[in-house]
Amino acid sequence: MAVVWCILNIVASRYWRLRGDMVKYIDFNTMWVLLMKKIIFILALMSLVSSVNAEGVVDAKRIYVGGGLGFNSLPGFGSARGFQFIGGYDFNFKLNEDISTALEIGYMASGDFDQYKGLNTNENVKGLWTAMVESVPLSSKTDMLVRLGYDFGDDDGFLLGTGMQYKFDTKLSFRMEYVARQNVNSLQANVLVKF
């Protein structure tokens, strides 16, 4: 019953948007796209919870958080400096006995693009995303990273990235990645902390 109420609430909130005393009608296609984004995000969260539960009790030592800077480019609109926050869970299983798998959820804000200023449009791109991250160890302290995910924000669509990770110790690491989204490409520098 609660799920049905949530879906109806999402549909109703997206179908009609209040602006002062006026009610602005949003066409059905726009409403459908917004609804599908929310449903995909909810399914991704449910997938995260079920896969973590499949391992048994959640191991707090496998949870990590982090954040950093993003140097973003949008072809035809210049560049921007922004930030991102990351939360993730490093799964217990390994592919080929050495490749680690993690699921991450994050928030990215691109910052103001150079040539967007003055136009009647958003000056920055922001939103939630989720991704699977594979880590291939190159040495005891460095890993090569590959990510595949989906962005639910302003730049909605698939995202693909690759990069390197350096582990200072078992709890602190530094990442440098290049992530390509539907429109915005970014070079990211992040610091991660495990619990």
Q: What is the pLDDT of residues 48-99, one digit of tens each?
A: 666 555 556 678 889 999 999 999 988 877 888 999 999 999 998 888 888 9
Q: Which of 52, 136, 138, 37 is nearest to 87 (CA)?
A: 52
Q: Please check whether residues 42 and 64 belong to one and the same domain.
A: no
CATH number at residue 153: 2.40.160.20
Q: Please check whether residues 62 and 102 belong to one and the same domain.
A: yes
The pLDDT confidence band at residue 193, using thresholds 50, 70 and 90, is: very high
pLDDT at 128: 92
**Within a 13 Å sphere around the CA of 164, how many CA atoms are in the beta-carbon half?**
5
Q: What is the pLDDT of residues 110-138, one digit of tens each?
A: 888 876 555 545 567 889 999 999 999 99
In order of 97, 140, 195, the CA distances from 170 in angstroms are 19, 11, 10
The token pair that represents 36 in the structure block: 């599908």
Strand ranges for 20-156 from DSSP E: 22-25, 63-74, 78-95, 99-109, 126-137, 142-151
Q: Please check whether residues 88 and 163 belong to one and the same domain.
A: yes
Look at residue 15 and tell me whether its pLDDT is greater than 50. no
H or E stretch including 178?
A: strand 172-180
- Of 30, 50, 70, which closes a domain? 50
The pLDDT confidence band at residue 4, using thresholds 50, 70 and 90, is: very low
pLDDT at 45: 63
pLDDT at 112: 82
pLDDT at 66: 96
Look at residue 18 and tell me whether its pLDDT is greater than 50. no
pLDDT at 74: 83
Q: Please check whether residues 93 and 164 belong to one and the same domain.
A: yes
pLDDT at 188: 95
Region of 119 (left: φ > 0; alpha: ψ -120 to 50; beta: rest) is beta
Q: What is the pLDDT of residues 144-176, one digit of tens each?
A: 999 999 998 888 789 999 999 999 998 999 999
Domain that holds residue 46: 2-50
pLDDT at 168: 96
H or E stretch including 165?
A: strand 157-167
Whether 165 contacts 135, CB under 8 Å: yes
